[in-house]
A and B are shown apart, each in its own frame.
Chain A
Amino acid sequence: MAKPKEISSLSYDQAMEELEGIVQQLEAEVGDLDAALALYERGQQLAKHCGELLDSAELRVQQLGADGSLSELE
């Protein structure tokens, strides 16, 4: 795996995808206990992050200009 990203910067889909990968890896029981411990801790942080994203989510709407620029709608 590449260098793990800062969890707070992950979007829901990124965090969820990584979390599922970690759980599958842990369930496959490969690797030593040290690695498993690190994976488990990261998994917990990812799950917490996903929960927070769901709780705080608010639809953000932007409008695209003809030149490709984005501006907030409303």
Chain B
Amino acid sequence: MQQMGMFASEPKAITVTELTRGLRRAIEAVDVFQNLWVQGEVSNFSRPQSGHWYFTLKDRDAALPCVMWRSTAELQAQIPKNGDHIEVHGGLSIYEAQGRYQLYVDEIRSAGAGTLYQKFIELKNRLDAEGLFERKRSLPAWPRRIGIVTSATGAALQDVLHTLERRYPLAEVVLAPTQVQGPSAAILVADALGILDQFAQPDLILLVRGGGSLEDLAAFNSEIVARAIVRTRAVVVSGVGHETDVTIADFAADLRAPTPTAAAEISTPDVQELRGQLAAVRGRLERQTPAAKILRARQRVDELSLRSGRALAQRARWQRATLQGIAARLGALSPLAVLERGYAVVRAADGKLVRAASEVQPGDALDVRVQRGTLNVEVIDTKED
């Protein structure tokens, strides 16, 4: 601190390096800063090619950049994940090239599951049980008006606009600009959704923002935004963060896209595709020209008359067959046909058919007609059944 006073009284300006180095030495000289245990939640964890670990340790109000060198990192049993609540040991210093103070971590221990992540899971399960994630409507085939809810200054907006320009310039786009980060972001995002849906009446809403830590995405993991999403009349497609970030908003949306660009892509047809579609419909229409229609109508008449001719012939054939069938059945009923099967017809002298033994007396003469010829017989005896 004495050095600082000395610098301040110098009329000549000092260099950035001199100041930064001075600060670094000052920090490193404080023993308590060199032997710290700090607890917080892991975010922005990255492990580049170099093998060193970089992450930020956070709580509600502050953030601390951390580094663990490869030599120590390699010895760790577990790799921390974003959202993990951990305690780290190390010494504080300044990374001069970026003028940033950071904790050089040499030991990590777990402090249970991260609370932000736990809250996320709890909210997700509660809303899921309520059925809030069940509304999945299909996308409009040719969206006319596309609403976008995102930051007016973010890269996400530019990504979406470029994609729409390239794929689907037919669309009319309405941006509902909103903060997507910070303490009031959740309410602002929910409001933007509601106002956009009500006043601009888009048929599709893209809810997008670039990637970030779990804290950065807090608005998209809030209950109020989830409820605003399922209240919209327009179909909502979410595209929040990177591939791996899944938010509550993603579950509540009709469709989830992995990134803002992907959200614009999956929810619009490509103009080249549309040209093909139009050509196909045109082709179908051309086959329906009035001339073609008349030709087909005539063909149909021909075909019908042909078919009715065939039908008549068929009917005649059927009738003939029926007649033959009846004749056959009639033939079977002829008495002669019965005789053919070995039966006989017995008549009395007066020509009456004899049906019972009681109708004749012994000594009566009878005629018995068999298939071929007649027998003249005399009754010897009669016997009733």
Chain A contacts to B: CB under 8 angstroms? 11-13, 16, 19-20, 22-23, 26-27, 29, 33, 36-37, 40, 43-44, 47, 50-51, 53-54, 57-64, 66, 68-70, 73
CB contact under 8 A between A13 and B144, given known A51-B278, A60-B173: yes
Number of interface residues of B (CB under 8 A): 42
Complex contacts, A22 vs chain B, CB 8 Å: 285
How far, in whole Å, are A47 and B198 apart by their CA atoms in the complex? 32
Question: For residue B379, which residues in chain A have a CB less than 8 angstroms away from its CB?
Answer: none
Residues in B with CB closer than 8 Å to A16 are 141-142, 277-278, 281
User: Per DSSP, are chain B's interface residues mostly helix, strand or loop, or mixed?
Assistant: helix
**A12 and B200 contact, Cβ closer than 8 Å, known pairs A23-B284, A40-B285:** no
Query: Are A12 and B293 in touch, CB under 8 angstroms?
Result: no
Q: For the complex, what is the distance from the CA of A22 to the CA of B173, rounded to whole Å? A: 29
Tell me if B294 and A33 are in contact (CB < 8 A): yes
Partner-binding segment picked from B45-53, B122-130, B161-169, B335-343: B161-169
> Which residue of chain B is the closest to A37 with respect to CB atoms?
B290
In whole angstroms, what is the CA distance A27 to B286 when docked?
11
Smallest Cβ-Cβ distance to A64: which chain B residue: B176
Are A54 and B177 CB-contacts (below 8 A) given A13-B144, A23-B288? Answer: no
The 10 tightest CB contacts between A and B, nearest first, are: A68-B199, A13-B142, A26-B288, A57-B169, A61-B173, A64-B176, A57-B170, A59-B169, A59-B165, A43-B285
A sample of 9 cross-chain residue pairs with beta-carbon separation below 8 angstroms, ordered by A number, consists of A16-B142, A23-B284, A23-B285, A26-B293, A37-B290, A47-B281, A54-B278, A57-B271, A64-B195
Determine whether the beta carbon of B142 is less than 8 Å from that of A12: yes
In whole angstroms, what is the CA distance A32 to B383 when docked?
A: 85
Flag if A63 contacts B175 (CB, 8 Å). yes
A54 cross-chain contacts in B, Cβ below 8 A = 170, 271, 274-275, 278
Report the separation of the CA atoms of residues A35 and B135 in the bound assembly, to the nearest whole angstrom.
Answer: 42
Query: Could you say which residues of chain B place their CB within 8 Å of the CB of A51?
Result: 278
Which residues of B155-190 have CB atoms within 8 Å of chain A's CB atoms? Answer: 161, 164-165, 168-177
For A63, give the chain B residue with the smallest CB separation: B175
**B138 contacts partner chain A, Cβ-Cβ < 8 Å:** no
Residues of the A chain whose Cβ atoms lie less than 8 Å from the Cβ of B192: 64
- Known contacts A29-B293, A36-B293, A50-B278; 12 additional CB pairs below 8 A are A16-B141, A23-B284, A58-B169, A59-B168, A60-B171, A60-B172, A62-B172, A62-B174, A63-B152, A64-B175, A68-B195, A70-B174
A12:B198 contact, CB within 8 angstroms: no
On chain B, the residues within 8 Å of A29 by CB distance are 293, 296
C-alpha spacing A64/B164, complex, angstroms: 18
Contact, CB under 8 Å: A11 / B144: yes
Q: Is the CB of A27 within 8 A of B288?
A: yes
Is there a chain A Cβ closer than 8 Å to B140's Cβ? Answer: yes
State whether B170 touches A40 (Cβ < 8 A): no
Q: Which of A37, A43, A47, A66 contacts B195 (CB 8 A)?
A: A66
Assess the B164–A59 pair: CB atoms within 8 A.
Answer: yes
CB distance from A67 to the nearest CB of B (A): 8
Contacts of A37 in B (CB 8 A): 290
CB distance from B233 to the nearest CB of A (A): 15
Check A40/B290 contact, CB under 8 A, given A22-B285, A59-B164. Answer: yes
B297 contact from A20, A33, A73, Cβ within 8 A:
A33
A63 to B195, alpha carbons, bound, how many Å? 12
Q: Which residue of chain B has its CB nearest to the CB of A39?
A: B288
User: Is B282 part of the binding interface, using a Cβ–Cβ cutoff of 8 Å?
Assistant: yes
Question: Which residue of chain B has its CB nearest to the CB of A36?
Answer: B293
Are A64 and B144 CB-contacts (below 8 A) given A23-B285, A54-B275? no
Q: A58 contacts which chain B residues (CB < 8 A)?
A: 169
**Smallest Cβ distance from B367 to chain A, in angstroms?**
76
B261 nearest CB across to chain A (Å): 15
Complex contacts, A69 vs chain B, CB 8 Å: 199
Q: Closest residue to A43 on the B side, CB-wise?
A: B285
The reply to whether A61 and B282 contact each other, CB–CB distance below 8 Å, is: no
Q: What are the residues of chain A within 8 A of B173 when measuring CB–CB?
A: 59-62
